[in-house]
């Protein structure tokens, strides 16, 4: 009885002394900006957004100066950069050999991975809000310069699905970071995952009738693209759920298991 009581007290003390998850998230957020590479990678979201807005004002036809045009121009670089931020925040623990310190201070690796995911999602949501505001400013400035009427053609529901589509892309980077745990290898895999495989799937769908009907159920990029164009039907939501579970959730579970078992030097 005394032994059980002692163990209970020790467990309570250990739980009390554990670092709060909010603090771990704060540390991971700071780590994203601590290095020059991390700082400029995050800063590139704002830089490319401003360049895209200016280019749209200067070169887009007057008839295309709408909110959707500006939001698409600002958001496109973000869909590429955000998964890389999430990916590198995880692989850096192995590539930069900081994992020994990190996992010593926070022995539960699941909490570290959760904190990295939460911090990456925080950066992503802030970036997407920035993109929406920047797109609105570009629309106002562009319409004023061109003398065309303001066109607000992105409904609130579509804005929500656009955010969801970017978050799925972000989680894809998180998954690849946990599975590969090497920055160079994970980046190569990410570009194959997001560029090469969708291209091959489109070519196969164009030439093979049997795959054309199957593509929405096996091609995540195809199912995810519907989130950026408007409201989804019930079947499209089902396509997205199946492909996201196959290409993101299940590999993420396997990647987390690998993180838990991998040796840190």
Q: How far apart are CA 158 and CA 160, in angstroms?
A: 5
Instruction: Say whether pLDDT at 9 is over 70.
Output: no
- φ/ψ (deg, to 5) at 84: -65, -35
pLDDT at 218: 92
Find out whether 177 and 248 touch, Cβ atoms under 8 Å. Answer: no
- Chain mean pLDDT for the chain: 85
| HEC profile of 87-136 | HHHHHHHHHCCCHHHHHHHCCCHHHHHHHHHHHHHHHHHHHHHHHHHHHH
Are the CB atoms for 85 and 42 separated by under 8 Å?
yes
Report CA-CA distances (Å) from 265 to 3, 34, 106. Answer: 36, 22, 15
Q: d(Cα 100, Cα 59) in Å, to the nearest integer?
A: 50
Distance (Å) of CA 109 to CA 90, 104, 118, 255 = 11, 10, 14, 12
State the average pLDDT over residues 38-56: 87
| CA-wise closest residue to 73 among 154, 144, 148 | 154
Q: Give how far Cα 56 sits from Cα of 61, 179, 256, Å.
A: 9, 38, 41
* Between residues 243 and 65, the one the model is more confident about: 243
Instruction: For residue range 75-120, list pLDDT tens digits in order.
Output: 888 888 899 989 998 998 888 778 888 888 888 899 999 999 999 9
By three-state DSSP, how is residue 264 classified? coil
Percent of the chain residues past pLDDT 70, beyond the cut: 93
**Which pLDDT band, with edges at 50, 70 and 90, does 15 fall under?**
very low
In the DSSP assignment, the letter for residue 237 is H
Q: What pLDDT does 265 receive? A: 66
pLDDT for the residue 254 = 95
Residue 9 vs residue 125, higher pLDDT: 125
Of 202 and 231, more confident: 202
Residue 37: how many other CB atoms lie within 10 Å: 12
Q: What is the pLDDT of residue 2?
A: 38
Is it the case that residue 10 has pLDDT exceeding 50? no
pTM listed for this prediction: 0.84
């Amino acid at each position: 009885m005394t032994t059980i009581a002692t163990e209970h007290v020790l467990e309570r003390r250990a739980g009390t002394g554990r670092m709060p998850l909010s603090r771990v998230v704060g540390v991971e957020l700071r780590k994203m900006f601590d290095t020059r590479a991390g700082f400029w990678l995050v800063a590139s979201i704002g830089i490319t957004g401003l360049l895209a807005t200016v280019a749209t004002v200067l070169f887009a036809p007057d008839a295309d100066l709408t909110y959707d045009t500006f939001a698409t121009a600002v958001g496109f670089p973000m869909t590429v950069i955000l998964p890389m931020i999430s990916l590198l925040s995880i692989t850096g623990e192995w590539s930069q050999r900081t994992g020994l310190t990190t996992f010593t201070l926070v022995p539960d690796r699941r909490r570290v991975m959760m904190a990295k995911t939460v911090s990456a999602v925080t950066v992503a949501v802030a970036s997407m809000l920035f993109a929406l505001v920047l797109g609105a400013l570009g629309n106002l400035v562009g319409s004023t310069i061109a003398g065309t009427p303001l066109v607000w053609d992105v409904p609130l529901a579509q804005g929500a699905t656009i955010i969801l589509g970017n978050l799925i892309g972000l989680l894809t980077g998180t998954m690849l970071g946990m599975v590969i745990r090497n920055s160079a290898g994970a980046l190569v895999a990410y570009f194959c995952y997001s560029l090469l495989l969708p291209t091959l799937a489109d070519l196969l769908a164009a030439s093979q009738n049997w795959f054309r009907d199957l593509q929405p159920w096996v091609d995540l990029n195809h199912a995810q693209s519907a989130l950026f164009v408007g409201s989804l039907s019930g079947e499209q939501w089902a396509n997205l759920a199946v492909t996201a579970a196959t290409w993101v959730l299940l590999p993420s579970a396997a990647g987390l298991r690998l993180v838990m078992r991998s040796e840190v030097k």
